[in-house]
Amino acid sequence: MSLFCPGNFHHLRSNLGCTSTINYLALRYISPKQFPARIYNLRNSAQVNEARSEPHSSSATCNNPLLHLRDGLVDVGARSNETTRLKSRKLSTIGATPRKTQIPRVGISTKKDKKQPELCGAKVVNCYDSEPGNSVVGKATDRPATILVFDIETTGLSRENERIIEFAVRDLNGGKNSSFETLINPEKKDVTNTYIHGIRDDMVNNPNVPTFRELLPILLRYVRSRQMPGKPVLWVAHSGRRFDVPFLVKEFQRCSMTIPEDWMFLDSLALARQLVLANGCKLPSASLSALREHYGIPLTGPAHRAMQDVTVLCYVFQRITFDLKLTVPQLLDKAFRP
């Protein structure tokens, strides 16, 4: 006599006795779409369609049921786990959109370090912490370069005669003391372009404001604290080739020093000019303010101040590298030595 009983094994044993022989099947889940076809197969064929479900049968006498039952459950469990893995792998690919190679994003924070560590102890240099996050740099252990975004404000446009009066820098990797900004004493040089950045003579021609010569050891110490051993430093500035970098080189020369050999510079303006709109046209303007509006980045402070422009450029640089699908090695290939 054959019975189909989905009940508990021990209940079945009590009802049938210890000398009975029990045949059992390993069943698989059938979706509602497969159910009609499954019924058709059961009605019209003695053998179940093995492509969908392979039945497993064994005999276990109740005199020693646990041994065979254990072996059967192990076999059924192994095939059940394999079926689950295959099913989940298949479901994960159905309807899935192709994964894009995404340039990691920049994590930005403007939390001021209230402790003012020794690194930023010279006069009015202000240190900030940035939250470590997704950036174009990647993990600190495998990044091919330290990427520093910087900006300067000056007393005028002439690199030979004018001086830097504000400097700000941020390490895209984030973390403690990853950013600092400071006004710089131009050493009695008049500020002729206050209308651009709002920095007045009395703000910088002040004994409490460090000169560039006083700032330079702090800057070098900052870079050494952020730099990966044996890896270059990539400085990023908007319009840096024509403006920021020449001013920086000139200030180093006034201090009888040269730019370190492992410092490289990248002009984000050149990258921005490669951007193409959805209609196939290039951006009408590649200025930092135009890029900020293009990407919808809010302005939270006064424009044309060093740290504010650095913050905007961090976000803009993130979007540019994503749109152009640029990696850090590719950025290094586009960099230049002063």
Task: Name which of 150, 217, 152 is nearest 184 in CA terms.
Answer: 152
CA dihedral 109, 318, 261, 144 (to 10 degrees): 100
Q: Which of 10, 238, 294, 304 is catalytic?
A: 304
Rounded CA separation 60/75 (Å): 14
Task: Name which of 215, 283, 304 is nearest 251 in CA terms.
Answer: 215
Question: Which pairing describes strands 175-183 and 126-130: parallel, antiparallel, or unpaired?
Answer: antiparallel
Q: In the annotation, is 304 catalytic? A: yes
Beta bridge partners of 179: 128, 170
Question: Which residue bears the tokens 């995404």?
Answer: 102
65-93 and 9-16 helices cross at what angle (nearest 10)? Answer: 140
Looking at residue 132, the DSSP 8-state letter turns out to be -
Hey, is 121 helix, strand or coil?
coil
Write the DSSP string, 173-239: T-EEEEEEEEE-B-SS-----HHHH---HHHHSSTTSPBHHHHHHHHHHHHHHHPPTT--EEEEETT
245-254 and 212-226 helices cross at what angle (nearest 10)? Answer: 120
Rounded CA separation 65/118 (Å): 76
Residues with catalytic function: 304
